[in-house]
């Protein structure tokens, strides 16, 4: 009882999950991110908005170090997750990426069965027990609101699913490795409005258990799903605040111009 | 706005008619060319089969070579050919696939890799007699393997490796980058990603390369003449000399031993190649069953 109350309090005070300080990112000599500071709170949805090429996806990929794959990409500054600097020497990248899951713009299920897609991550991290894997698969698919649609064809190809189902499968695949942060890079830009609606409902559901950071081009989406919004422009973070405040009373003229559709 | 219109109906329709005529000409030419290719192929196969089936009997398939091939059958040659194909692929395939993985995913894409690619591309075009000479000098003389199944399969492995590396590289490069990113983002290592996601997705292309390599081994004579030797019995060890169907065929005709047996051997060779190709592509489809939308 006591613990439950404490957990509730923790959620309400929303401690800082991801703390970004003075983050610079360079592609060769081009500076793509300039001195970003951001606090991402636990169990909230944080939306990153801004015109194409403003650095919001690049920023997102810093949080699970997917930028490491890009030759000539250099990161300076700190990103702390639960107080640990993820760019410190000796950080285990595989573990970091297990903790910080990522959903991509284009659904990317593997050429495997639905079951094997979900079980891929846990297996990768050494789980072989078939019973436990089944538990994870069912739990993850239920959590991603896909279970009822696929429970009778778990051993059929994941590529036979519709685009929206594939994206929920990819979300389930991320949840299967038990992350605490989920990054979403324009997760609905390749989907139809109905599938988009389902994913948005899902995001609202997921924030009870996860910290979510979502990049979106769709401002209504940011307004609908997020608690906080950050506006990026040309590698700078112009302004960040509660979503309602950003959309109703932006402090910066550039934010207002973007939100009202004057550019972008 | 009353501007001059350049694309009037008459002009567009006249152009349509012209385009249609040239399209029809192109189609006709394509049909003729395709029919020509198919007819030539059928003629060759038909000619060989009609001549070959006269000589083929159960005895021919199941007995030993007698009197240098004038009498008896080709049973040991069939077995040795299958040994050669199996060993050649066994040597070449793992090295080629690993080399392709290294070149596409691990090596720094710089001058060195460009040079290696240039040489592999050129090696694929070198006449196989040169490989035969190399195999004879290196495997046969230097390593002392003489004329043997080991020498022959090592040489043939070298012959098919450039092609296998190239086709595997291409297969790996066509795997959508989303697969790789998806796997890495789940915390898989690069090697896990390669083995569990990328290589399975590339497997149809890799298997296709193996089929090409297999066909090359079946057809090869020049590279094997100096290395595999001409033993007529079933090879009992890697160090035994042997001959493949293509080599036996060559010997039968070159030394004027028996044209009839040569046709029969050719027929068997064609049929085995067809069967193995069918098996390999069925295998490829099975591995790849998740590609189709079931």
pLDDT, one tens digit per residue, over A71-127 is 889 999 999 999 999 999 889 999 999 999 999 999 999 989 999 999 999 999 999
What is the pLDDT, as a whole number, of residue A9?
A: 47
Q: Which CATH number fits domain A2-86+93-259: 3.40.50.2300, 1.10.645.10, 3.20.20.80, 3.40.50.300?
A: 3.40.50.300
A-B contacts (CB, under 8 Å): 81
Of the candidates B182, B290, B294, which has its C-beta nearest A108's C-beta?
B182
Distance between CA B159 and CA A245 in Å, rounded? Answer: 69
Domain ranges of chain B: 9-53, 59-287
Q: Which residues of A touch B186 (CB under 8 A)?
A: 97-98, 101, 120-121, 124, 173-174, 177
Question: Is pLDDT larger for residue B289 or for residue A24?
Answer: A24
Distance between CA A183 and CA A163 in Å, rounded? Answer: 19
Task: Report the mean per-residue pLDDT for chain A.
Answer: 90
> pLDDT-based confidence at B127, cuts 50/70/90?
very high
Q: Which residues contact A187 (CB under 8 A, 6 or more apart)?
A: A103, A104, A105, A167, A171, A199, A214
Of the candidates B181, B186, B291, which has its C-beta nearest A111's C-beta?
B291
Token pair 């069918």: residue: B278
Q: Does B192 touch chain A (CB under 8 A)?
A: yes
Q: What residue of A is the nearest CA neighbor of B191?
A: A124
Q: Does B292 touch chain A (CB under 8 A)?
A: yes
Average pLDDT over residues B267-281: 88
> Which helix (H) or strand (E) is B72 found in, with range?
strand B71-72
In tens, the pLDDT along A154-192 reads: 999 999 999 999 999 999 999 999 999 999 999 999 889
**What is the CA B286 to chain-centroid distance, rounded?**
20
Q: Which residues of B touch A110 (CB under 8 A)?
A: 179, 182-183, 197, 201
What is the pLDDT, as a whole number, of residue B287?
A: 62
pTM score: 0.81
In tens, the pLDDT along A26-72 reads: 999 999 999 999 999 999 999 999 998 889 999 999 999 999 888 88
Domain ranges of chain A: 2-86+93-259
A20 contacts A79 by C-beta, under 8 angstroms:
yes
Average pLDDT over residues A7-22: 73
Q: Does B287 touch chain A (CB under 8 A)?
A: no
Question: Is pLDDT larger for residue B166 or for residue B276?
Answer: B166
What is the pLDDT, as a whole number, of residue A12?
A: 53
Average pLDDT over residues B55-63: 89
Tell me which DSSP letter residue B146 carries.
-
What is the pLDDT, as a whole number, of residue A1?
A: 43
Q: What residue of B is the nearest CA neighbor of A92?
A: B187
Strand runs labelled E in chain A: 16-27, 30-41, 45-49, 73-81, 84-85, 100-103, 181-185, 211-215, 228-233, 236-242
What is the pLDDT, as a whole number, of residue A244?
A: 93
For testing contact with chain A, the best of B106, B174, B184, B185 (most A CBs within 10 A): B185
Average pLDDT over residues A17-24: 94
In tens, the pLDDT along A2-11 reads: 444 444 444 4
- For B59-287, CATH number? 1.10.3720.10
Q: Does B123 touch chain A (CB under 8 A)?
A: no
3-state secondary structure of A156: coil
What is the pLDDT, as a whole number, of residue B244?
A: 93
**What is the CA B7 to chain-centroid distance, rounded?**
52
> Which helix (H) or strand (E) is B66 found in, with range?
strand B65-66
Q: What residue of B is the nearest CA neighbor of A122?
A: B186
In tens, the pLDDT along B146-165 reads: 999 999 999 999 999 999 99
Distance between first and last Cα of chain B: 55
What is the pLDDT, as a whole number, of residue B294?
A: 35
Q: Which residues of A touch B197 (CB under 8 A)?
A: 110, 120
Q: Is the pLDDT of residue A259 over 80?
A: yes
In tens, the pLDDT along A189-241 reads: 988 999 899 999 999 999 999 999 999 988 899 999 999 999 999 999 999 99
Min distance B215 CA to chain A CA atoms (Å): 29
For testing contact with chain B, the best of A92, A119, A124, A126 (most B CBs within 10 A): A124
Average pLDDT over residues B239-248: 93
Q: Which residues of A touch B292 (CB under 8 A)?
A: 157
> pLDDT-based confidence at B72, cuts 50/70/90?
confident
Q: Which residues of B touch A98 (CB under 8 A)?
A: 186-187
Q: What residue of A is the nearest CA neighbor of B197?
A: A110
């Amino acid at each position: 009882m006591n613990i439950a109350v404490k957990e509730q309090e923790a959620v309400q005070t929303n401690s800082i999950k991801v703390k970004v300080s003075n983050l610079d990112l360079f592609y060769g000599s081009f500076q793509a991110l300039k001195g970003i500071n951001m606090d991402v709170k636990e169990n909230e949805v944080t939306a990153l908005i801004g015109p194409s090429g403003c650095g919001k996806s690049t920023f997102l990929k810093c949080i699970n170090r997917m930028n490491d794959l890009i030759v000539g990409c250099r990161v300076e500054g700190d990103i702390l997750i639960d107080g640990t600097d993820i760019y410190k020497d000796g950080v285990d990248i595989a573990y970091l990426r297990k903790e910080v899951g990522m959903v991509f713009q284009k659904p990317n299920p593997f050429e495997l069965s639905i079951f094997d897609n979900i079980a891929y991550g846990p297996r990768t991290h050494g789980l072989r027990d078939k019973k436990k894997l089944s538990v994870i698969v069912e739990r993850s698919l239920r959590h991603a609101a896909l279970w009822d649609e696929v429970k009778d064809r778990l051993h059929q190809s994941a590529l036979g699913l519709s685009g929206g189902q594939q994206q929920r499968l990819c979300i389930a695949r991320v949840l299967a490795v038990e992350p605490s942060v989920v990054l979403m890079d324009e997760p609905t830009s390749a989907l139809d409005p109905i599938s988009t609606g389902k994913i948005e409902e899902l995001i609202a559901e997921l924030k009870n258990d996860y910290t979510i950071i979502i990049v979106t081009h769709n401002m209504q989406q940011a307004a609908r799903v997020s608690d906080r919004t950050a506006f990026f422009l040309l590698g700078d973070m112009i302004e960040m605040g509660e979503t309602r405040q950003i959309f109703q009373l932006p402090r910066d003229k550039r934010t207002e111009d973007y939100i009202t559709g004057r550019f972008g | 706005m009353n501007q001059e219109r350049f694309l009037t109906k008459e002009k567009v329709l006249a152009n349509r008619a012209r385009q249609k005529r040239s399209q029809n000409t192109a189609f006709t030419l394509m049909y003729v060319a395709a029919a020509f290719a198919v007819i030539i192929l059928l003629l060759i196969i038909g000619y060989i089969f009609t001549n070959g089936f006269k000589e083929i009997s159960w005895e021919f398939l199941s007995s030993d070579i007698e009197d240098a091939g004038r009498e008896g059958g080709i049973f040991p040659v069939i077995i040795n050919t299958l040994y050669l194909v199996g060993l050649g692929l066994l040597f070449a395939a793992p090295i080629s696939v690993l080399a392709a993985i290294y070149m596409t995913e691990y090596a720094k894409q710089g001058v060195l890799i460009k040079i290696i690619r240039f040489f592999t591309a050129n090696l694929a075009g070198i006449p196989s007699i040169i490989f035969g000479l190399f195999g004879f000098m290196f495997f046969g003389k230097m390593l002392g393997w003489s004329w043997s199944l080991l020498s022959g399969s090592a040489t043939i492995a070298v012959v098919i490796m450039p092609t296998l590396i190239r086709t595997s590289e291409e297969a790996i490069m066509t795997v959508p980058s989303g697969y790789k990113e998806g796997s890495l983002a789940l915390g898989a290592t690069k090697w896990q990603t390669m083995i569990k996601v990328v290589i399975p997705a590339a497997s149809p292309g890799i298997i296709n390369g193996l089929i090409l390599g297999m066909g090359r081994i079946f057809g090869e004579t020049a590279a094997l003449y100096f290395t595999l030797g001409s033993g007529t019995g079933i090879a009992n060890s890697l160090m035994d000399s042997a001959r493949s169907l293509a080599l036996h065929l060559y010997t039968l005709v070159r030394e004027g031993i028996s044209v009839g047996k040569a046709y029969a051997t050719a027929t068997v060779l064609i049929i085995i190649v067809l069967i193995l190709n069918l098996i390999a592509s069925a295998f490829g489809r099975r591995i790849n069953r998740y590609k189709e939308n079931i």
